[in-house]
Amino acid sequence: MLPLQKCRELLSSESANLTDSELDELRHGLYELAAVVLKAYSARTVMTPDQALGLLAASEREEAEERAAILEYDGGLSRPAAEQRAVAEVFKRRNGRPTRVVV
């Protein structure tokens, strides 16, 4: 947990009117919020390749399956690893950020 002094430095002039008690309450609230956000993010983005494929449109599913076959055959990956990477690539292209897919 960040010391109060570091919190004051990060907040700069915005923390000038806060007492130590108020700053501590704010710090605890932000840590709780961060825990909730991380939990929600993890729950939302971790899925098996089969679950991820079910969320794709038919054209995207075909693209992911073809990419997985290429990664398996030419890339020497196992089928599960190839599917994981292929599905993640499709989601990254679609969403502009990676989605974790687990085998």
For residue 69, which of 55, 83, 58 has the smallest C-alpha distance? Answer: 83
Tell whether the model's pLDDT for residue 58 goes beyond 70: yes
Tell whether the model's pLDDT for residue 99 goes beyond 60: no
CB 103 within 8 A of CB 49: yes
User: Which residues are CB-neighbours of 43 under 8 A, at least 6 positions away?
Assistant: none
- Write the pLDDT tens digit of every residue in 64-97: 999 999 999 999 999 888 988 888 888 788 766 5
Q: What is the pTM of this model?
A: 0.49
- Write the pLDDT tens digit of every residue in 8-53: 888 888 778 889 999 899 888 888 888 877 776 666 666 777 777 7
